[in-house]
Amino acid sequence: MPLITIYNPVCGDRSAQRFVEQHVLPLLAEHGKTVNTLAPTQHAGHAGPLLVDFLESTTDTGSITVVLASGDGTLHEIINHLSLQTRTMPRFHFVLVPSGTANALYSSVFPPPADSESASDDEKVEYKLQSVRSFINSGHTIPLTLAIATLSAPPSAKTRPQVAVSSVVVSAALHASILHDSEALREEFPGIERFKIAAQKNSTKWYTSYVKLLPAPGAGRVQIYDPSVKAFVTHPDSDGDDPIVDLDGPFAYFLSTVNVDRLEPKFRITPLSRALPPDEASCEVVIVRPLRDPSVEWDTKEARESWVSKLWQIMGGAYQDGVHIDLRYDEKGKIVTGGEGPLVVEYVRCGGWEWIPDDIDESAHLLCSDGAISQIEKGGRAVCLAATPKEDAGFVVYV
């Protein structure tokens, strides 16, 4: 199978080239794996065209192995570029070398050990070589589910919809605002601290939007996580007559993942995605709507400001191995674990969703697709659907 190694020299802490040269290439050579092309990305958006050029230069086009040393954003660029090609594409087999800032996909398929901070240098290197080792040894792969988001303008605009294909996350509300603002901090803060700084800046925002949750075809109903049985159950508003669930805002958080249970090694936002995997292509959606809190009656500036501590308590749960999905409100609005109170987080499994932002709320018009930010036009909407490509096409990852 033709093999190309691509590395992004500027992602994360800029160590991809060194790591590839010192560890990846020698290991591949030792096991008789020939690298046909070795290429750095030379600018943003370069990884996809590099791969298409490689495809054109090779006669054996059944499937292609791509050793990719980057973060999630470079993989996102590749998938989007290849999805735009009009000719039939082979199946792409990715060997991931985590070199980005967050490495959500890699750390989801290879969760770091609890004591990873105290790991020796050799253990840190070995941790990053797991996908390479499975390529060499077991050959075990998993297919990637894709989340296809279509951003439409209102019919009067007569513009074509924009499509963004994701393999990790599609979000609006707080997460999209964080990704939007954190990009400007990349130079100064190359690590994940830039996300925390951007989160502080956006902590009092609530986002006015209207949401529809769409069932996956196999399940036929939208499902919601029920902490009392520790499983997904049919959403009470999704029935045979009308399986679509309608939700009103305001939303503090609205985020949907495919393939991953975490966005950073320790931020396990959709924890059941890998622990209790879906049977079909599905979006795992985490929703926080502050008006579910019995102590919040109105959406006011004061209510938003005093609710910030609860927002951090909820997000903190994602850093504690994903306990946020079990939180409830007591009758006074205190966040507790256990009891019968309203769920703090609505954790939904579904086939897709629509996000229809209110015209007057600028911030609600941001959409994040694997870190790339798009703007939903006024009067428009985003529709996101989960899909798994056919057997002989699409993208698989060595795990």
Ligand X SMILES: Nc1ncnc2c1ncn2[C@@H]1O[C@H](COP(=O)(O)OP(=O)(O)OP(=O)(O)O)[C@@H](O)[C@H]1O
Please give the structure tokens belonging to residue 115. Answer: 């004591």
State yes or no: residue 41 binds ligand X (CB under 6 A). yes
The pattern of x and - marking residues 350 through 379 that bind ligand X according to CB under 6 A reads ---------------------x--------
State the Cα angle at 263 between 275 and 126, rounded to 5°. 80
Position among 103, 209, 223, 273 found at the interface with ligand X (CB under 6 A): 103
Looking only at the bridges linking them, the beta strands covering 141-143 and 162-166 are unpaired
Q: How far is the CB of 180 from ligand X (least distance, A)?
A: 14
Q: How far is the CB of 205 from ligand X (least distance, A)?
A: 22
**Residue 69 contacts residue 24 (beta carbons within 8 Å):** yes
User: 168 or 314, CB closer to ligand X?
Assistant: 168
Close Cβ partners of 318 (under 8 Å, ≥ 6 residues apart): 267, 268, 269, 271, 324
- Residues in 49-78 that interact with ligand X by CB under 6 A: 70-74, 77
Task: Please count the residues of the chain.
Answer: 399
Closest CA to 263 of 107, 132, 136: 107
User: 198 or 224, CB closer to ligand X?
Assistant: 198
Which residue carries 């495919």 as its tokens?
Answer: 258
State yes or no: residue 265 binds ligand X (CB under 6 A). no
Close Cβ partners of 182 (under 8 Å, ≥ 6 residues apart): 194, 195, 197, 198
Which residue carries 């019995």 as its tokens?
Answer: 294
Which residue carries 């007057």 as its tokens?
Answer: 360
Size of the site for ligand X (CB under 6 A): 22
State yes or no: residue 42 binds ligand X (CB under 6 A). yes
Distances (CA, A) of 113 to 29, 124, 132, 315, 398: 28, 11, 18, 21, 19
Q: How far is the CB of 166 from ligand X (least distance, A)?
A: 12
State yes or no: residue 43 binds ligand X (CB under 6 A). yes
Close Cβ partners of 35 (under 8 Å, ≥ 6 residues apart): 3, 4, 5, 25, 28, 67
User: 92 or 206, CB closer to ligand X?
Assistant: 92
The pattern of x and - marking residues 208 through 247 that bind ligand X according to CB under 6 A reads ----------------------------------------
State yes or no: residue 181 binds ligand X (CB under 6 A). no
Q: How far is the CB of 69 from ligand X (least distance, A)?
A: 9
Q: CA torsion, points 258, 261, 262, 266, in degrees to nearest 10?
A: -170
Choices 3-11, 89-97, 227-235, 360-368 (CB under 6 A): range interacting with ligand X: 3-11
Q: How far is the CB of 44 from ligand X (least distance, A)?
A: 3
Position among 8, 80, 107, 273 found at the interface with ligand X (CB under 6 A): 8
Position among 3, 6, 11, 287 found at the interface with ligand X (CB under 6 A): 11
Which residue carries 């086009």 as its tokens?
Answer: 61
Choices 97-105, 213-221, 233-241, 335-343 (CB under 6 A): range interacting with ligand X: 97-105
Choices 27-35, 41-49, 247-255, 301-309 (CB under 6 A): range interacting with ligand X: 41-49
Position among 3, 5, 6, 12 found at the interface with ligand X (CB under 6 A): 12
Position among 100, 215, 341, 352 found at the interface with ligand X (CB under 6 A): 100
Instruction: Compute the distance between CA of residue 8 and CA of residue 16 in angstroms, rounded to an integer.
Output: 6
Q: How far is the CB of 192 from ligand X (least distance, A)?
A: 8
Instruction: Compute the distance between CA of residue 109 and CA of residue 265 in angstroms, rounded to an integer.
Output: 10
**Residue ranges that bind ligand X, judged by CB under 6 A:** 8-12, 41-46, 70-74, 77, 100-103, 371
